[in-house]
A and B are shown apart, each in its own frame.
Chain A
Amino acid sequence: MNPQTIIIYDGSFDGFLCSIFMIYEQKISDAIIRKESDTNNQLFTITEHVITEKHKANRVWKGVKLKTTRKEQQDFFKVFLSEIKGVENTLLNYLKNVFIKKKGGNIDFSNTDILKMSQVSKMVEREKHRMEAFVRFQLTTDSIYTATVEPDFNVLPLIIFHFKDRYADQKWLIYDLKRSYGIYYDLKTVQIITIDDFSRRNTKISPEKLSSSELEFQMLWTTYFNHVNIKSRKNNKLHKQHLPKRYWKYLTEKNTTL
C-alpha cells in the first residue's frame, strides 16, 4: 500500500493551487493538503513542502476556469477563505470531479463534496455581508476612517470592492485582528498591510489618535440608535438573532455610554 502523502503549503491561495499542481504533476494518489501553521508529524506518512510559484498557480486556475462557471469559481474561492480545517481536501476532491467532467455539467447535490461546497460558500457569503453591515469606521487624526474586525472567516478579500466603490473619496482601513492584516485604501488603490499597534488584546483605537469630533459622532449615533427603539415591542431574541453577541465588541452603538 502506498503511504499517505501530506502536502504542506504556506496558507495562501496560490500556494494551495501549487499543491494541486504538485499532486497532478507527480501523480500522488493519496494526498492530504495542509497549511504550514497546522501541521503535526505523523508516522508512516511522507511530507512534501510546496514552493509557491505564481506561474504554476496560474496554470491550475486557468484549468479551473475552463471547466467551471464564474459562480462556481467564486464559490471555490469563498470556500477556500472559510479556513475550515480540512477544507483543502474537500476542494481537492471537488476539483478532481470537475476536471473529469465537461463544463456546465448538472449540479448534483447528492454528491457530498458538492453539497458541502455550496453550504460552506453560503456561510462565507453571509459573513461577508455581515462585515459590509457591521464595520464601524472611526476617523483618526491622520484622516483615515479606521475599523477593526474579527470575522469568522477570512472575508476581507471579498469586501474590498464593496468598500472601494462606496467610499471612493475617503481614506479607509479595515483591520482583521484575528488574522493580523488589513486592507487600506489610499484614494487610488487598495493595499494589504500589517500594523504592529493592533492586537487582539488591544482592540480599541486609543482616544488620543481619534479626530476631535469622532467621539461626538459616536455619541450622536448611539443616541439615535437608542431612540429609534420602540420599547413596547421589545424582542430580545430577535435582536440577538440578527445581531449576534460576538459582533457587539466592534459596534459603536453597543459600546458607547451616554
Chain B
Amino acid sequence: MSFERIREKLSILADAAKYDVSCASSGGKRSNSNKGLGNNTGMGICHSYTEDGRCVSLLKILLTNHCIYDCAYCVTRKSNDIQRAAFKIQEVVDLTINFYRRNYIEGLFLSSGIFKNSDFTMERLIAVAKKLRLEENFNGYIHLKSIPGASDELMREAGLYADRLSVNIEIPTVSGLKLLAPDKKHEDFIKPMQKVKNEIIQYKSERKIIKSTPRYAPAGQSTQMIIGATGESDRDIMYSATYYYKQFNMRRVYYSGYIPVLPDNRLPSLGTEVPILRENRLYQTDWLLRFYGFSVHEILNDSHKNLDLDIDPKLSWALRNLDLFPIDINTAEKQMLSRVPGIGMQSVSKILQARKFRKLDWTHLKAIGIALNRAQYFITCNSKEFYRKEFSPLTLKNKILKTSKSKYNTYFNNQLSLFS
C-alpha cells in the first residue's frame, strides 16, 4: 500500500471522527482461542492520551467523510467545503491489525459518513468487522456505528461481529433535531437502537439454553448527545438520557460539549468556549442516576431546570433538602449514606464494612477518605462534636465554597464575587 496516501486519508478521517467521545474498550469478552490475534479480557486499556487529556484506546476513524446529509452541527456535512476521502475496506483492516500488533490500540471504532444510502454504508462497515474476525482471526475490540435507517437484517449481522454498537442521537430534543438536521428523522435513530436491544435480549436468552449461541454485541450499545448546540436545558438533556437508558438498555450515554467548527446562524458562533464545566456536571448527574440511586426528577425538575455550575449536583440536591439531614453515619441506611455530599460509593461500602466492628468517629471517616469539608455539615458520628447550628442553604453553600478548591475555579470566579 502507498503509505503517503494512507497517511493523508488517516489524517482527514481521524480528524472527522474525533468528536465522537466514546472510547470505552471494556465489556467485550473474547478470549484468544486457536492462537489468533488479540485477547479481550473485558477490561479496557488506555494506550495513550492526547494533549487534551482524552484517552486513546481505539483506532477511531470514519470509513469516509462523504455524506449525503447536511446536519448543521457536523463537520462532514454536505455543504461544508472540506477535503473528502474514503478508505478501502482492506486498508482499514491492515491499519487495525498493524496498530494492534504493535500494542498501540485495543481495537477499532469505525464510523462513517453516509454515502448513497444507509444500507450501502452499513454493509461496508460490517464488511470490515467481518473481515477482521473471520479472515484475520482478530479478537480485539470492535465498535461499529449503527447508521440511522439501516435495515434490521444488517443490524443483526453487525452485532455478531462487533462488541459494541452505537447510534449518536446528537441533539437531545426532537425539535432541535428538526432545526439542525432537517433531512434526518427521529425514528431513523430509534429503529436500529430498538433492533439491537431486542437482539441482545434474544441472544442472551438463547444462550441460556444453547451454549454455543454466538455472542451478540457483548459490550452493549451507547449513544452520544451534543451539549450546548441548541438551547435545551440540562433537564431536557437528562430526561432524554434517562429515556435512552431505560428504553434501550444503554450501557452509556455520552455528553459532548459542542465545539464550534462551522459558521451557521442556528449555532453558537465560532470561538465560543467549549462548555467543559457543564459537560462535567452532566456526567456527575449521570453517575448519580446510575450508581447512587437518585431519580432524575430529584435533581432536575420544573423549578430547577439547570444544574448549578459552582457546586456539584449532589451538594445542590442536599442544600435543597436540608430537612433530611443530619444523618447518623453509624445507623443510616446505604441508600441515605450514598446521598451525603462528599461521600462516594467506595466510601459508602467501606463505612458499611467498618461500622460492623466499631462505632466510627471523625478520625475513622477521615482515614476512610470521605471529603469532610462537605460531608461534615450533613452527618453525625460517634463524637459529641458536630454542626448543630442550622444554616440557611445559601450560607452553607458559601461556607463550603470557601473551604473548597475546584479545578474549574477560573470558570466561576466572577459569580462568586457577587456573594462575598
Contact surface of A with B, Cβ cutoff 8 Å: 129, 132-139, 145, 147, 165-170, 213, 216-217, 219-221, 223-239, 241-243, 251-253
Contacts and interface: CB of A to CB of B under 8 A. Distances in A.
Given A134-B47, A167-B37, A220-B7, A228 B18 contact: yes
Nearest to B259: A232
A104 to B, nearest CB: 16
Contacts of B95: 220
A237 to B, nearest CB: 8
B49 A147 contact: no
A63 to B, nearest CB: 29
A contacts with B: majority SS: helix
B23 to A, nearest CB: 9
A224 B100 CA distance: 14
A169 B37 contact: yes
A227 B32 CA distance: 31
Interface in B18-68: 18-19, 31-32, 35-39, 41, 45-56, 59-61
B10 interface: yes
Contact of A219 (B7, B46, B55): B7
Given A220-B95, A242-B46, A227 B10 contact: yes
Given A135-B103, A228-B18, A252-B104, A166 B39 contact: yes
B410 to A, nearest CB: 13
B388 to A, nearest CB: 31
Given A133-B47, A224-B10, A227-B10, A235 B52 contact: yes
B102 A133 contact: no
Nearest to B17: A228
A135 B104 CA distance: 8
B28 to A, nearest CB: 14
A107 to B, nearest CB: 10
Nearest to B11: A227
Listed from nearest, the 8 A-B pairs whose CB atoms lie closest are A238-B53, A233-B52, A229-B50, A235-B53, A165-B39, A227-B14, A242-B49, A216-B3
5 contacts: A134-B48, A137-B103, A168-B35, A219-B3, A239-B49
A60 B41 CA distance: 32
B399 interface: no
Contacts of B179: none
B61 to A, nearest CB: 8
A168 B139 CA distance: 11
Contact of B46 (A133, A147, A220, A230): A133
Nearest to A218: B102
Nearest to A231: B52
Given A133-B47, A230-B52, 19 more contacts: A135-B103, A165-B41, A166-B39, A167-B37, A167-B101, A169-B137, A216-B3, A219-B7, A220-B10, A224-B11, A224-B14, A229-B51, A229-B52, A231-B52, A232-B274, A237-B53, A238-B49, A242-B46, A251-B48
B346 interface: no
Interface in B75-112: 95, 98-99, 101-104
B73 to A, nearest CB: 15
Nearest to B272: A232
B48 A225 contact: yes
A99 B41 CA distance: 35
B11 A223 contact: yes
B59 A230 contact: no
A181 to B, nearest CB: 20
A217 B102 CA distance: 9
A37 to B, nearest CB: 31
A170 B32 contact: no
B187 interface: no
Contacts of B18: 227-230
Contact of B51 (A134, A216, A236): A236
Contacts of A243: 48-49
Contact of A138 (B15, B46, B102, B274): B102
Contacts of B59: 224
